[in-house]
Amino acid sequence: MVMVLVAMSYASTIMGARLAENEFSANKQFMLTTGLQIDDVAWTVGRTQTISYSSRSGVVKYQPLALNYSVELHSISGTETFNFTTGMIMYNMPISQYNLGNNYFERVSPRNSAYFIQNGSTAPVSHVFIVEQLPMLDGNFIRTIAVPSIRNMTSSIVSQSTSTVYYKFFLPTLEAASENPALSQSVTMIGNDVTKIIRSGVDQVRITVSFPNAGIGFNSDFFKFEGNSTSTVLPTGSVVEFYLGKVVVSVGRV
């Protein structure tokens, strides 16, 4: 009888661990989909996307003030600085249910690049990654993160006498909705506004990412970007265009 009870307990433990693993794997795909949907929503005002997930023990949370992007535009007339702040979306699984070990890190998308600026028309505008970093003030979780990054595109217009190079940057910024009712296991994102900043005669662009919530653990080691600052010297007479897509995030909205 004792052996049967021990075997049943062992089988139950193994089954629970397998279910938690399957749940975590499914919600890894959910967060990847969420990262892709940010790009669909950010550039169309009024566009709405709701993505559902299923979890017995994990929970989705919106974290404000995840990253601050500081953009410096240098020209012959001086330097302008713009600061853009964004939150991030997290799927948190308690390590009591599932874990891969402290300091585990996996970059889901883009898989082969850790730079906070991605180049090309098909480049993503979000990083999706998995991190287990303990301890943290808001609890001990293995987390799957979707956080906005910057897409860069370059083009040029050539006339008979001149050639103008255009550097275009695209950044979604996530903001919390006024209400997060938690009525369902879902995330709703709404495209709220698109802002365009244009400057001519720029000869250098410097972009730096910083971490407003570093004090509670969301620091450079948490995100593991390949460098936190980049500077590019531009051809004379270049035009810089910066597009900001404001996305309002509601957790549990039906």
Which residues, at least 6 apart from 102, have a Cβ–Cβ distance to it below 8 Å? 132, 133, 134
Residues above pLDDT 70, as percent of the chain:
90
- pLDDT one-digit tens code per residue, 81-98: 999 999 999 999 999 999
* Strand partners of residue 164: 157
Exposure string for 153-181, b = 16+ CB within 10 A, e = fewer: eeeeeeeeeeeebebbbbbbbbbebeebe
**Quick one: pLDDT band at residue 2, thresholds 50, 70, 90?**
very low
* Strand partners of residue 118: 151
- pLDDT one-digit tens code per residue, 116-161: 999 998 999 999 999 999 999 989 999 999 999 999 999 987 666 6
- Long-range Cβ contacts of 63-67 (<8 Å, 24+ apart): 63/87, 63/88, 63/89, 63/90, 63/213, 63/218, 64/175, 64/176, 65/212, 65/213, 66/147, 66/174, 66/211, 66/212, 66/213, 66/218, 67/116, 67/147, 67/148, 67/209, 67/210, 67/211, 67/212, 67/223
In the chain the first and final C-alpha atoms are separated, in Å, by 49
Please classify residue 194 by burial: count the beta carbons closer than 10 Å to its beta carbon, then call 0-12 exposed, 13-18 middle and 19+ buried.
middle
For residue 132, which amino acid is it? E
pLDDT value of position 12: 45
Distance CA 217, CA 69 (A): 18
Task: Say if CB 40 and CB 47 are below 8 A apart.
Answer: yes
Q: Is 217 left (phi over 0), alpha (psi -120 to 50) or beta?
A: left
pLDDT value of position 1: 52
- Parse the chain into domains and list their residue ranges: 2-251
Where is pLDDT greater, at 106 or 56? Answer: 106
- Report which secondary-structure segment, H or E, holds 208: strand 186-210
**Quick one: pLDDT band at residue 6, thresholds 50, 70, 90?**
very low
Is the bond leading into 181 cis (omega within 30 degrees of zero)? Answer: no
* pLDDT beyond 80 at 104: yes
Where is pLDDT greater, at 11 or 161? Answer: 161
